[in-house]
């Protein structure tokens, strides 16, 4: 799910982002960030300055300042992975959890690239060039209630004044576009990189095989108050095991899906091989009508084709 809102308070935003996770994972994105030579992790001071219309080091180099009450600092785009994905991440082994987290982060960063295109599609900016956005993409793993929640905050800084007159219709269009890209990217990465099977549902998708009651279990506010990561993971797994699910079941789900993915890839490769052989045999048969190529044509196996189609 993706939401977009105008930033009303810079201090509130900074405080919230750096308090959800003690050490949030941040990265600079956008052509504007490249022009400003922003690299490495996102620092609070840099983000605060850019939201105020200043240079990253605090110099008043831009033509406007958002200290004025009628100038918006920017937009906050929140990208939340489906509940079933966050639940699988919380219950998986460390290696598998890192792989799931990488899929979510990659999808968010790709979505931010498309957000820049949607925001600046028809605008010209400084020095006669297309305006470019500066995005701070902050990746986090838990909600404010300390429940598992893979999500990213994409903070679009209004450092060049592009967002001064942005109306609700434009924001809605950008939200729809970014939501489509994020959902599609995340689903593709989970399926192709990890072999996780998903299924469509209203407003998105879910991990097939993940019980809904486990996904909902981690969405109940105020369930957890512990602060250390290993204690959080242990608490999540204890809660899930009481409900009939845990790390063992999550591991089986991922392991099974990976096996199915490998089987499907091998099957598809053999089928393509047979198809190529069939085409070549037909070409050679034009030179020698007596050449029998029936044995190399793809054979129909209803059981194998059914499995390949499902996964």
At 114-155, the pLDDT tens digits run 888 777 664 444 433 456 678 899 998 888 777 888 999 999
Q: Give me the pLDDT at residue 279, please.
A: 55
Q: Give me the pLDDT at residue 278, please.
A: 58
User: What's the rounded mean pLDDT across residues 230-255?
Assistant: 81
Q: Give me the pLDDT at residue 308, please.
A: 38
Of 20 and 10, more confident: 10
198-227 pLDDT, tens digit per residue, is 899 888 899 988 888 888 887 764 444 444
When pLDDT is cut at 50, 70 and 90, the band that residue 33 belongs to is: confident
285-310 pLDDT, tens digit per residue, is 554 454 444 443 444 443 333 343 33
When pLDDT is cut at 50, 70 and 90, the band that residue 23 belongs to is: low
152-195 pLDDT, tens digit per residue, is 999 988 766 667 667 788 888 888 989 999 999 999 999 888 88
Q: Sign (positive/negative) of CA torsion 209, 212, 216, 217?
A: negative
When pLDDT is cut at 50, 70 and 90, the band that residue 105 belongs to is: very high
When pLDDT is cut at 50, 70 and 90, the band that residue 56 belongs to is: confident
Give the 3-state DSSP-derived string for 108-176, with helices as H, strands as E and coil as C.
HHHHHHHHHHHHCCCCECHHHCECCCEEEEEEEEECCCCCEEEEEEEEEECCCCCCCCCCHHHHHHHHH
Q: Give me the pLDDT at residue 93, please.
A: 86
Q: Give me the pLDDT at residue 152, please.
A: 93
- Cα–Cα distance measured from residue 311 to residue 308, given in angstroms and rounded to the nearest whole number: 6
Chain centroid to CA 64: 33
Domain ranges of the chain: 2-245, 250-310
Q: Give me the pLDDT at residue 302, please.
A: 39
| CB-side neighbour CA atoms (13 Å) of 230 | 0
Q: Give me the pLDDT at residue 108, please.
A: 94
- Cα–Cα distance measured from residue 11 to residue 66, given in angstroms and rounded to the nearest whole number: 13
When pLDDT is cut at 50, 70 and 90, the band that residue 51 belongs to is: confident
pLDDT score of 67 more than 70: no
Of 241 and 128, more confident: 241
Q: Give me the pLDDT at residue 280, please.
A: 56
Q: What angle do CA 211, 244, 145 make, to 5 degrees?
A: 70
Q: Sign (positive/negative) of CA torsion 63, 67, 72, 75?
A: positive
């Amino acid at each position: 799910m993706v939401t977009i809102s105008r930033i009303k308070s810079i201090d509130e935003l900074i405080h919230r982002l750096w308090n959800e996770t003690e050490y949030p994972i941040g990265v600079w994105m956008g052509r504007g960030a490249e022009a400003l030579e922003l690299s490495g992790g996102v620092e609070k001071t840099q983000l605060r300055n850019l939201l105020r219309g200043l240079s990253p080091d605090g110099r008043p180099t831009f033509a406007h300042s958002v200290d004025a009450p009628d100038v918006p600092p920017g937009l906050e785009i929140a990208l939340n992975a489906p509940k079933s994905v966050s639940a699988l991440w919380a219950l998986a082994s460390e290696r598998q959890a890192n792989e799931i987290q990488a899929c979510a982060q990659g999808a968010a960063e790709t979505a931010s690239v498309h957000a820049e295109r949607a925001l600046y599609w028809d605008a010209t900016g400084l020095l006669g060039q297309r305006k470019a956005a500066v995005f701070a993409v902050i990746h986090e793993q838990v909600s404010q209630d300390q429940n598992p929640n893979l999500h990213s905050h994409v903070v679009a800084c209004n450092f060049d004044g592009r967002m001064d007159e942005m109306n609700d219709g434009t924001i809605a269009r950008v939200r729809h576009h970014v939501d489509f890209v994020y959902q599609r990217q995340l689903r593709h990465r989970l399926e192709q990189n990890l072999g996780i099977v998903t299924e469509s549902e209203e407003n998105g998708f879910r991990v097939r095989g993940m019980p809904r009651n486990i996904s909902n279990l981690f969405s109940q506010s105020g369930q957890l108050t512990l602060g250390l990561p290993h204690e959080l993971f242990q608490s999540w797994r204890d809660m899930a095991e009481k409900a009939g699910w845990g790390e063992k079941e999550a591991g089986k789900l991922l392991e099974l899906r990976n096996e199915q993915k490998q089987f499907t890839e091998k099957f598809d490769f053999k089928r393509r091989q047979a198809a190529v052989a069939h085409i070549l045999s037909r070409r050679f048969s034009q030179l020698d009508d007596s050449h029998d190529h029936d044995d190399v044509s793809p054979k129909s196996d209803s059981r194998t084709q059914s499995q390949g189609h499902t996964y």
